């Protein structure tokens, strides 16, 4: 394969709607131009479809207030002047020639053809469908927002998701290329919807798009033939271009009054709940088998009032179950690894300290390999993945080696699947909040060296990306527990069947989910592990601050399969698929 440094840089044409571009787009283009893989040679100014400004007056006012109140340090929308962002780029004002749904003028197409454009970037969906697709070598790349078939969410990014309380917001990076029937999907992201702010919801999604767009351009520049081959194999998507954020698609004044009322009520409810209740992670376990992974009753292991327990990983040795888990004081949240023990009679003891550092530790993934016990705890705050070896079970552990350095990998989960060792981990996107994307690494042994999967990140979906426990096997099928953090951090556990896993491709399908809907005091569950006949979870319990209600020693959860039905943990391989995902590099 020819190195990209020996090729001429890709020639990019940028379609935008003014003489500034948002910060997220500037950071993307700056990274790409800095790599010498591509350069923006021409910027075309196109027009958005304008609506009646008076009808959308309240929406315009809301946008300004929302951004003022909830603006973050990593603001994706800081305007950057085109001239300062792209000093060598020619800017052509064609706001009348490229106006919304109007067909592109043939004379303009002929003039632009002389520019020998490789990629047309249309991040705001300003071009009509297939506009300029024949002009460039690798097509028109656009960023449609919202859910398929819902033009409201597509024209006004994140607004309806926030105002109507939808838990997640979607966006995609699509390519319309000559010879393709419809658009092809390069990248999709499902991020948590901010309960209060459209600006924060949009900002976090746009930072994901910023990283994905830069990554796709770099891959195209490194190996165009392989990129085209993967693009041809990617899934077609049914989306229609409509300018995102176009005033004509914004809510009217009456709709804004209704939305504003909902937001005020939601804020008041959140403040009332925060005043009256406190939340605390605890552990819960169940002995014996069950027809449903979330079926109870679960018996709780209650932490002291000043700390929480989470991320339980049980192993069985003799007649006792050793549950390694995180413990963290509520005062500063720096976690350490501790051990609780449950015997055959269900009696518990502990916790006792196992491992503590001057940085945060959690998610103690304990496993046995070559007759020895090893642990990979989460050490994302230390920006590396560490492997510990047990020198005296269960209490003495020493650092064996650093598996991955310079990486904030959350909940690293090793598994021996399909004849190879794999490491699943969630890695955050800069500026995009705490919800990370699923990355894979593979090796011949858990000691490494670990090689990144060619399609990383293989999944960007807040509903099922972040690991939630050990990968388990049943009837020859492998299942991956994952966190659903859409409604809140650690809301539920999604069970996903692995369909395809190799160094080039990852595919999985959701078959079941454990949700905290049975017990009103439980508002979250984000770890699920089994050892022998012991099932252990963690649960986020809401308790009153005043006139404190006593802990319930047993609790109930729900396992919800397709269409609300319940699926057996032992029969999960036969559950009907609910939501599928595949990833190509």
Task: Check: CB of residue 423 under 8 Å from CB of residue 412.
Answer: yes
Residue 217 has pLDDT above 80, yes or no: yes
**Spatial CB neighbours of 289, under 8 Å, sequence gap ≥ 6:** 533, 569, 570
Side-chain-facing half-sphere of 317: CA atoms under 13 Å: 14
pLDDT band at 577 (very low <50, low <70, confident <90, very high): very low
Please give the pLDDT value at position 154.
Answer: 80
Please give the pLDDT value at position 572.
Answer: 36
Query: Cis ω on the peptide bond leading into residue 482 (within 30° of 0)?
Result: no
All domains of the chain in start order, with CATH:
7-251 (3.40.50.170), 271-583 (2.115.10)
Distance of alpha carbon 173 from the chain centroid: 15
What is the arithmetic mean of pLDDT over 402-429? 96
Q: What is the pLDDT of residues 36-76, one digit of tens each?
A: 999 999 999 887 665 567 888 999 999 999 988 888 778 99
Residue 131 has pLDDT above 80, yes or no: no
For the packed helices 57-70 and 253-276, what is the interaxial angle rounded to 10 degrees?
30
Closest CA to 412 of 400, 402, 425: 425
Report phi then psi at 275, rounded to 5.
-75, -40
Q: DSSP labels for 280-322?
A: EEEEEEEES--SSTT-SPEEEEPPPTTEEEEEEEEEEETTEEE
Please give the pLDDT value at position 201.
Answer: 93
CA distance to 42, 465, 513, 516, per residue, from 563 (Å): 50, 21, 11, 17
What is the arithmetic mean of pLDDT over 215-232? 92
Q: What is the pLDDT of residues 139-185, one digit of tens each?
A: 999 999 888 777 788 888 899 999 999 999 999 999 998 888 788 99
Please give the pLDDT value at position 568.
Answer: 32
What is the arithmetic mean of pLDDT over 278-284? 93
**Spatial CB neighbours of 449, under 8 Å, sequence gap ≥ 6:** 443
What is the arithmetic mean of pLDDT over 66-92? 90
Q: Which of 1-10, 89-98, 420-429 has the highest mean pLDDT?
A: 420-429
Cα diameter, the chain: 83
pLDDT band at 547 (very low <50, low <70, confident <90, very high): low
What is the arithmetic mean of pLDDT over 245-252? 66
Please give the pLDDT value at position 106.
Answer: 72
What is the arithmetic mean of pLDDT over 469-483? 94
**Spatial CB neighbours of 179, under 8 Å, sequence gap ≥ 6:** none
Task: Check: CB of residue 294 under 8 Å from CB of residue 321.
Answer: no
- Whole-prediction pTM value? 0.90
Count CB atoms within 10 A of the CB of residue 577.
13
pLDDT band at 564 (very low <50, low <70, confident <90, very high): very low
**Spatial CB neighbours of 119, under 8 Å, sequence gap ≥ 6:** 10, 11, 12, 13, 38, 136, 137, 138, 139, 141, 217, 220
Please give the pLDDT value at position 48.
Answer: 67
- Higher local confidence (pLDDT), 352 or 128: 352
Please give the pLDDT value at position 197.
Answer: 93
Task: Check: CB of residue 245 under 8 Å from CB of residue 60.
Answer: no
- Higher local confidence (pLDDT), 425 or 51: 425
- Higher local confidence (pLDDT), 516 or 36: 36
Closest CA to 238 of 301, 185, 304: 185
H-type alpha helices, 198-356: 198-222, 224-233, 253-276
- Higher local confidence (pLDDT), 327 or 19: 327
Please give the pLDDT value at position 489.
Answer: 93
Q: Which of 46-55, 272-281, 443-452 has the lowest mean pLDDT?
A: 46-55
**Spatial CB neighbours of 339, under 8 Å, sequence gap ≥ 6:** 322, 323, 324, 325, 350, 351, 352, 353, 354, 394, 395
Residue 1 has pLDDT above 50, yes or no: no
Q: What is the pLDDT of residues 501-511, one digit of tens each?
A: 999 999 999 99
CA distance to 50, 89, 131, 518, 520, per residue, from 17 (Å): 12, 15, 16, 50, 49
What is the arithmetic mean of pLDDT over 433-458? 95
* Percent of the chain scoring above 70 in pLDDT: 86
Residue 520 has pLDDT above 90, yes or no: no
Q: Which of 1-10, 49-58, 470-479 has the highest mean pLDDT?
A: 470-479
pLDDT band at 345 (very low <50, low <70, confident <90, very high): confident
Closest CA to 422 of 393, 400, 452: 452
Count CB atoms within 10 A of the CB of residue 406.
7
Residue 225 has pLDDT above 80, yes or no: yes
Query: What's the token pair of residue 366?
Result: 């304990």
Rounded to a whole number of angstroms, the CA Rg of the chain reads: 26
> How big is the CA angle at 311 (ends 307 and 313), to the nearest 5 degrees?
125
Side-chain-facing half-sphere of 174: CA atoms under 13 Å: 25
pLDDT band at 570 (very low <50, low <70, confident <90, very high): very low
Q: Which of 54-58, 266-270, 401-405, 572-576 has the lowest mean pLDDT?
A: 572-576
Please give the pLDDT value at position 571.
Answer: 35
Distance in angstroms (rounded) separating the CA atoms of residues 17 and 96: 11
Please give the pLDDT value at position 566.
Answer: 35
Q: Share the mean pLDDT of the chain.
A: 86
* Percent of the chain scoring above 90 in pLDDT: 61
């Amino acid at each position: 394969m020819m190195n990209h440094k020996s090729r001429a840089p890709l020639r990019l044409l940028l379609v935008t709607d003014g003489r500034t571009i948002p910060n997220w787009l500037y950071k993307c283009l700056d990274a790409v131009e800095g790599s010498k893989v591509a350069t923006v040679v021409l910027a075309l100014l196109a027009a958005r479809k304008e609506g009646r400004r008076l009808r959308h007056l309240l929406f315009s006012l809301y946008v300004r207030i929302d951004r003022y109140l909830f603006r973050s340090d990593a603001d994706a929308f800081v305007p950057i002047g085109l001239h300062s962002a792209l000093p060598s780029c020619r800017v052509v004002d064609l706001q009348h020639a490229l106006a919304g749904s109007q067909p592109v003028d043939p004379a303009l197409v002929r003039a632009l053809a002389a520019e020998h454009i490789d990629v047309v970037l249309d991040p705001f969906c300003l071009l009509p469908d297939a506009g300029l697709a024949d002009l460039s070598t690798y097509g028109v790349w656009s960023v449609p927002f919202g859910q398929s078939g819902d033009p409201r969410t597509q024209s006004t990014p994140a607004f309806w998701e926030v105002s109507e309380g939808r838990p997640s917001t979607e966006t995609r990076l699509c390519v319309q290329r000559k010879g393709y029937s419809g658009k092809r999907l390069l990248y999709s992201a499902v991020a948590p919807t901010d309960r209060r702010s459209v600006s924060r919801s949009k900002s976090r999604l746009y930072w994901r798009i910023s990283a994905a767009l830069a990554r796709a351009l770099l891959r195209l520049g490194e190996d165009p033939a392989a990129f085209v081959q993967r693009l041809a194999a990617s899934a077609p998507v049914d989306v229609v271009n409509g300018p995102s954020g176009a005033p004509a698609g914004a809510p009217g004044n009456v709709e804004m009054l209704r939305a504003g009322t909902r937001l005020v009520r939601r804020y008041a409810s959140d403040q009332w709940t925060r005043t009256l209740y406190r939340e605390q992670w605890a552990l819960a376990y169940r002995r014996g088998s069950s027809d449903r992974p979330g079926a109870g009753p679960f018996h709780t292991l209650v932490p002291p009032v000043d700390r929480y327990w989470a991320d339980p990983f049980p192993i069985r040795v003799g007649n006792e179950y050793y549950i390694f888990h995180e413990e963290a004081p509520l005062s500063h949240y720096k976690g350490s690894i501790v051990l609780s023990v449950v015997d055959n009679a269900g009696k518990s003891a502990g916790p006792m300290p196992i491992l503590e550092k001057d940085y945060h530790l959690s998610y103690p993934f304990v496993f046995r390999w070559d007759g020895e016990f090893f642990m990979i705890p989460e050490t994302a705050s230390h920006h590396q993945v560490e492997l510990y070896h047990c020198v005296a079970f269960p209490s003495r552990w020493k650092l064996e080696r650093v598996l991955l350095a310079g990486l904030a990998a959350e909940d690293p989960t090793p598994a021996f699947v399909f004849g190879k060792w794999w490491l699943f981990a969630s890695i955050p996107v800069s500026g995009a909040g705490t919800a990370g994307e699923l990355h894979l690494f593979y090796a011949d042994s858990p000691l490494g060296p670990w090689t990144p999967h060619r399609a990383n990140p293989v999944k960007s979906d807040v509903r099922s990306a972040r690991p939630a426990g050990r990968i388990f096997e049943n009837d020859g099928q492998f299942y991956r527990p994952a966190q659903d953090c859409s409604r809140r951090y650690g809301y539920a556990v999604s069970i996903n069947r692995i369909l395809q896993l190799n160094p080039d491709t990852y595919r999985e399908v959701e078959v079941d989910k454990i949700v905290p809907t049975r017990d009103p005091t439980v508002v979250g569950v984000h770890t699920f592990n089994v050892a022998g006949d012991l099932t252990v979870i963690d649960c986020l319990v809401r308790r009153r601050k005043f006139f404190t209600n006593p802990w319930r020693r047993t609790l109930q959860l729900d396992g919800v399969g397709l269409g609300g039905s319940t699926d057996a943990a032992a029969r999960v391989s036969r559950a009907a698929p609910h939501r599928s995902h595949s990833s190509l590099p």
